[in-house]
Chain A
C-alpha cells in the first residue's frame, strides 16, 4: 500500500482532466415489487463532481445507482448521463456493487481485467498494488476475506477508467485504518482522472471527507443536499467538518425520531416523555 504515499498521487494536479460526464435525474420515480422506492427524485450532478449519497438502510441508495447505470427502469421521469459527451453513443459507466461480485472461476488479476484487453494487465497490477493486494493476484476469490474481495472489486472498477464511477458502499467491510487508506486512494484516483463519482456510504464522515456534495435520501426524495466547502485533503479534526457532520446526522436522526413517534405502539412512551 506504499503507493498511496506516491507524491504523484498525493499532490493533485492543478486542474483535473475533463473526463467526467454530467448526470441528471429528473423527477424519477421507481417502484420495486409494488413498493415505491424513489418518488419524484430530482438531482443534478455536474461533470467531474464527487457526490456522496447517504441515507438509512433500505432508503433506495442502491436503487438510485442501479437506475443511473440502467439496471432499473424508472416508471416516471428521465435519467440522462453525459448529454454532451457522447462517445459512440454510450458514456462509460462502471459500478462497484455492494456485494463484490467477483467471478469465482477467475483468479484475482483476470477478475480485475475483466472485459479489458491484455494491454491493461500492467495497469491492473498497479491498481491491485494500490489496494494492497498485489501478492494475491494469482489467488482464487474464494480464498479472500470479505474486505479483500471488496478491494479487488474497487480495483476492478478503477482500472476501467470510466467517465462515471458509481460506488455502492465500497468500503463497508473494511477496518478503520484500511478504510482511510482506501478513501485516500479513491480521492487520489478521482483527482487525477477527473471522472464523475457517485459514492453511496452509510458513513457520514466518509461522505464529508470525499465528496463535493452530500445528498441525503429520505422517503424516496432528496431530504438534504449539502455542499462541502472545505479544501482537500480533509481531516475529521476541523470544527467545520464536525459542524457539517453534526448537521447531517441530526437531520437523519430527526427524521428517524419523527418515524418513531408516529408509530402507534410507541405512543404511550412518547407521551410520557412530554
Chain B
C-alpha cells in the first residue's frame, strides 16, 4: 500500500492531489508487474497468455503495418452505423408511443413482447436471413441499441413533470413549442440513460457478430489470430474492444454533461 499523503505527511495540496490521482492505479500496475514476472519466470506459457511485453510489441507491430487501424476503423464504423439505425428507430418510436396514446396502444405491447426475446437468441435466424455479411452485423447491433433507447425515451416522455406541462400550457405554449420547451428537455435525462445503455450493448453485439463471422474488423483479427495461436494478437484485440467500449462510455458521459448541465447532479462550480 502506498502511504496516504493526507495522513503520512501533510505537505502541500499538490502532493495530496497527485497521491489521490495515483492511488487507484496501484493495484492494476502491481498486477501488470506480477503478470510480466509470471511470464518471464515461465509460470505462464505464452500459448496460454502472452507476456505484457509481447502484447505491447504485437500492438506496435500491428499499428506500424497499418493493419490494426484498418480493423479498428471497420469495427467502429460498423458499431456506429448500427447505433445510428437502432438509435434513431428507438428514439422515433419511443417519442411516438410516449406522446400519442393510440400509437402506444397500437405498438407498445408488441414491442415489449419482442423485447423479452434475448437478441443473441436470434442469431441463427439472423444468419439465415442475412447470411454472414455486413447486414447481419448491422442488424444485430441495431437490435441491441434499439430497445434501451426505445424504452427510456418512452419512459422519459411519460414521466415529464405534469406540473411543468400545466404551467407551460397556462403560459401559452402548445403543440411543437410545448414539445420543444418542456416535453423533450424533460425526457432528455431518461433518453440519455438509454443512450448510455445502448452504447454498452452496441459493443457487446458487435463483438458477438464479429466473432461469429467477419472478413475484417477487430473480431476478425482476434479470431484469425486464434487459428495461428497468436495469443498476443488476441489480447490486443480484446484490449481494443475494452478501450473502444470505454471511449463510447466517455462519449455518453460527455453528452450527459453537456445536455444536462442544468441538472443539479451536473453542476460543478456554478
Contacts and interface: CB of A to CB of B under 8 A. Distances in A.
Contact of A114 (B168, B262, B267): B168
A94 B172 CA distance: 9
Nearest to B171: A115
A221 interface: no
B116 interface: no
Interface stretch (A6-14, A28-36, A95-103, A126-134): A95-103
A246 to B, nearest CB: 37
Contacts of B164: 101, 103
Interface residues of A, number: 22
A93 B172 CA distance: 10
Contacts of A93: 170
B263 to A, nearest CB: 7
Interface string B176-188: 0100011001101
Given A99-B163, A103-B181, A103-B185, A71 B263 contact: no
Interface in A89-119: 93-95, 97, 99, 101, 103-107, 114-115
A142 B163 contact: no
Nearest to A160: B171
Contacts, number: 51
Contact of A105 (B163, B262, B270): B262
A71 B171 contact: no
Contacts of A104: 262-263
Contacts of B181: 103, 106, 114
Nearest to B172: A115
B211 to A, nearest CB: 42
B167 interface: yes
B270 to A, nearest CB: 7
Contact of B264 (A101, A114, A142): A142
Interface string B143-187: 000000000000000000001101110111100010001100110
Contacts of B267: 140, 142-143
A200 to B, nearest CB: 15
A129 to B, nearest CB: 21
B245 to A, nearest CB: 29
A114 B171 contact: yes
B185 A105 contact: yes
A143 B270 contact: yes
A145 B126 CA distance: 56
- Interface magnitude class on chain B: 20 to 34
A101 B164 CA distance: 6
A17 B270 CA distance: 42
Contacts of B264: 142
Contacts of B188: 105
A85 interface: no
Nearest to B169: A71
A69 interface: yes
A69 B270 contact: no
A106 B167 CA distance: 14
A99 B166 CA distance: 12
A99 B161 CA distance: 13
A139 interface: yes
A99 B267 CA distance: 22
B270 A94 contact: no
B167 A101 contact: yes
Of A69, A99, A114, most B-chain CB atoms within 10 Å: A114
Interface in B187-215: 188
Contacts of A106: 181, 262
Given A71-B166, A103-B182, A94 B171 contact: yes
Interface of A: 69, 71, 93-95, 97, 99, 101, 103-107, 114-115, 139-143, 156, 160
24 contacts: A94-B171, A95-B170, A97-B163, A97-B167, A99-B163, A101-B163, A101-B164, A101-B167, A103-B164, A105-B186, A105-B188, A106-B181, A106-B262, A107-B262, A114-B171, A114-B173, A114-B181, A115-B171, A140-B267, A141-B262, A142-B267, A143-B267, A156-B171, A160-B171
Q: Which 5 A-B pairs have the closest CB atoms?
A: A105-B185, A115-B172, A115-B171, A101-B167, A105-B262
Given A93-B170, A101-B166, A115-B173, 6 more contacts: A94-B171, A97-B166, A99-B163, A105-B186, A141-B262, A160-B171
